[in-house]
Amino acid sequence: MSDAFKVALAGLGTVGGGVVKLLLEQKDVLKKRCGWPIELAAVADLNPDRARALGVPETTAFYTDAREMVEKTDADVVIELIGGADGIAYDLCRSALGRGKSFVTANKAMIAHHGNELARLAEERGVFFGYEAAVAGGIPIIKSLREGLVGNRISEIYGILNGTCNYILTVMRETGRPFGDVLADAQKLGYAEADPSFDIDGIDTAHKTCILGALAFGMPVDLAALSVEGIRSVADTDIDFAEELGFRIKLLGVGRRCDGGVSLNVYPCMIPQTAEIAHVDGVFNAVVVEGDFIGHTMFVGRGAGERPTASAVVADIADAAMHRGLPLLNVANKEVRPVAIVPLSERVGEYYVRFEVDDRPGVVADIARVLGVNGVSIASMIQRGRRPDGTVPLIMTFHRSKESAVTAALSEIERLPCVSGKPCMIRIERL
């Protein structure tokens, strides 16, 4: 082995390109901080032009077949930046671990789907496995959770984990424009994909939330445990009323210890404007951790993009180079404990609901009666303005109630003749 730590990098897309730039630009700084040089020994990409465009040194081996690179390279660590839960990324990962190579990835989908298996494989082979970039981009949240907060039992972890959604919600609030328009603009600007479903339907947030949940609660990675709602149904009207009621709407991944186990969910929610996280806007991400010793703590930063994600990938490379590995799920696999998942229907909390109702006497009484029968108590109410079709939005917030009671009441109210369409319900989180 030469006296450099050798890196083999698969995938020269946005993030891969950022990692190459970082390793080249900060070569001297990294050598000083890590104690030995980090050398880009090999890269793989379907497109050979990308390596040239990035200025990859002549001495770096180039492969168009990433699998071949992993088989042939003598690198100390394999970096997978191709993406996707399965397919080539997953193959590379198993191949690298099988060869006893350290492995670093930004692939949240793969960890969310195969984290438990990969944890076993990494432990069997005794190799370093880094995935700092998989959650919240540049924010060192995995490290903070596993190392900085090592002495804490975590009661709650939640965050703004998808920059696309946060950008859309921020622009909707700032401009008053509806979801569809803002999404279309975000697509033009490159902040949202042509097929935006992965982001706006909360799937990306769910991947990250189940990873955070595993680390925070010592449980296996369990994507199926999550209820997932995205932001498609958040109307500009709701954003306006949220402001008026002293809230902001954010898409959060929320993990919480509660009676009977752990709840892990993704949903848009209203949070008080006085909460710091309410002011995390645009493409920024934030993660809040509540620990029994540290108390409340929050981490904010860019959750995506070439350079912030590269920052996180290189933090893992430095850890690998300095032999600072930890088990993938923080503790040895035999210490990972399944926990009971408390479904969202058991949530006890406050709620915001918007009904579209006929503008005539008796409507509020009808709705209030159904709520009362279901044990749901009204905390506040706003009614104002009439739509061209004669309906008006009727806004209510409910005191702390069980979600199953709220759901039952809403499905009954939906059938009242004075109510048009499905009531829009947004959970309130007093963070």
CA gap 169, 161 in Å, rounded: 13
Site string for a second copy, 134-163 (x = CB under 8 A): ----xxx--xx-xxxxxxxx----------
Does residue 388 bind a second copy (CB under 8 A)? no
Does residue 37 bind a second copy (CB under 8 A)? no
- Which C-beta is closer to a second copy: that of 74 or that of 292? 292
CB of 274 to a second copy, least distance (A): 8
CA gap 89, 70 in Å, rounded: 11
- 276, 386, 421, 422: which one contacts a second copy (CB under 8 A)? 276
- Which C-beta is closer to a second copy: that of 37 or that of 178? 37
CA gap 359, 421 in Å, rounded: 15
Does residue 280 bind a second copy (CB under 8 A)? yes
Does residue 293 bind a second copy (CB under 8 A)? yes
3-state helix, strand, coil in the chain (%, to 5): 40, 25, 30
- 1, 3, 32, 195: which one contacts a second copy (CB under 8 A)? 32
Does residue 175 bind a second copy (CB under 8 A)? no
Total number of residues shown for the chain: 431
Residue 392 CB coordination number (10 Å): 18
Active site residues: 208
**Binding segment (CB under 8 A) for a second copy, from list 25-33, 71-79, 339-347, 373-381:** 25-33
CB of 44 to a second copy, least distance (A): 21
Does residue 282 bind a second copy (CB under 8 A)? no
**Binding segment (CB under 8 A) for a second copy, from list 72-80, 162-170, 270-278, 392-400:** 270-278
Is 325 in contact with 318 (CB distance < 8 Å)?
no
Does residue 362 bind a second copy (CB under 8 A)? no
Three-state helix/strand/coil letters over 170-239? HHHHHHCCCHHHHHHHHHHHCCCCCCCHHHHCCHHHHHHHHHHHHHHHCCCCCHHHCEECCCCCCCHHHH
> For 132, phi and psi rounded to 5 degrees?
-55, -40
Per-residue buried b or exposed e for 193-222, using 16+ beta carbons within 10 Å of the residue's own CB: eeebebbbbbbbbbbbbbbbbbbbbbbbbb
Q: How many CA atoms lie within 13 A of 74 on its CB side?
A: 4
Does residue 40 bind a second copy (CB under 8 A)? no
Q: Which residues, listed in sequence order, are joined to residue 393 by a DSSP beta bridge?
A: 356
Is 7 in contact with 77 (CB distance < 8 Å)?
yes
Does residue 312 bind a second copy (CB under 8 A)? yes
Does residue 166 bind a second copy (CB under 8 A)? no
Is 173 in contact with 179 (CB distance < 8 Å)?
no
Site string for a second copy, 200-219 (x = CB under 8 A): ------------------x-
Does residue 227 bind a second copy (CB under 8 A)? no
Where does this chain bind a second copy (CB under 8 A)? Answer: 18, 22, 26, 29-30, 32-35, 132, 138-140, 143-144, 146-153, 218, 274, 276, 278-280, 284, 291-302, 305, 307-308, 310-312, 314-315, 318-319, 322-324, 326, 330-332, 335
